[in-house]
Amino acid sequence: MRRKHFIGVGFFLAITFGWSLLYHPSLHPSDGALVEYFQEHQPDFDKLVGMANEDSGVRAIYPSLVVLKGYKIWPNDTAEGFTQQRWGEYQSLFANLEAYDIGGFSKDSNIIHITASRGVSDLDDYESIVITKGYAYSPEEPSPLVESLDGMGFDSRGTYYKKIGERWYLYHDWGISKPE
């Protein structure tokens, strides 16, 4: 009987320890730290959103490439739709936001997501859990709104928002990434 008890406790500890290795909310910056950084750099964030809105043909910008509408990649797939000069303007702006290694954004509907922290944990050879936390700009109030994103973990599937200013929010996103 005692042996079964030890096996059960060991199995429980292994599962708990395994989940805790996959995701640590403390690895992401706190809401307070992100809000403070935003307040110090709001002109840069506002400029980034302005540029992203001007570039209507851009779906996302990452540290080494630009994703255009139709999922064409600049500069790999096409030389049209984006310029080296504009790339330099974005890179200069990202350099001003270096504390959280902000090097891009994505546009989904009317919401612009600017990732400040990202964690990836492989489930298997094909799927990974991706958890991001960062800034969102939205002309309309996104849903659901929460009081705090701190401590969100595996029970928080989906995207949650916390209001930090007019049209500005923090976001926390938990999703599964699969190869296309």
Residues in the chain: 180
Residue 165 has pLDDT above 60, yes or no: yes
pLDDT for 76 equals 85
- pLDDT bin (cut points 50, 70, 90) of residue 102 is confident
Cβ-Cβ contacts under 8 Å for 118 (sequence gap 6 or more): 130, 131, 132, 133
pLDDT digits 0-9 by tens, 122-139 = 778 778 888 899 999 999
Q: Which amino acid is at 93?
A: L
Q: What percent of the chain has pLDDT over 70?
A: 83
Residue 8 has pLDDT above 80, yes or no: no
Residue with the larger pLDDT of the pair 152 and 53: 53
Residue with the larger pLDDT of the pair 121 and 117: 117
pLDDT for 1 equals 57
pLDDT, mean over the chain: 84
pLDDT for 155 equals 66
3-state SS of the chain? CHHHHHHHHHHHHHHHHHHHHHCCHHHCCCHHHHHHHHHHCHHHHHHHHHHHHHCCCEEEEECCEEEEHHHCEECCCCCCCCCHHHHHHHHHHHHHCHHHCCCCEEEECCEEEEEEEEEEEECCCCCEEEEEEEEEECCCCCCCECCCCCCCCCCCCEEEEEEEECCEEEEEEEEEECCC
pLDDT digits 0-9 by tens, 72-97 = 999 888 878 899 999 999 999 999 99
Cβ-Cβ contacts under 8 Å for 67 (sequence gap 6 or more): 58, 59, 60, 61, 73, 74
pLDDT for 112 equals 97
**Residues 136, 116 contacting (CB under 8 angstroms):** no
Question: Can you name the residues that pair with 171 across neighbouring β-strands?
Answer: 134, 161
Mean pLDDT of 59-79: 89
**Domain extents in the chain:** 24-177
Residue 67 has pLDDT above 70, yes or no: yes
pLDDT for 11 equals 42
Distance CA 172, CA 162 (A): 9
Nearest to 23 by CA among 176, 135, 144: 176
- Lowest model confidence (mean pLDDT) among 10-14, 86-90, 127-131, 156-160: 10-14
pLDDT digits 0-9 by tens, 18-46 = 444 444 445 789 999 999 999 999 999 99
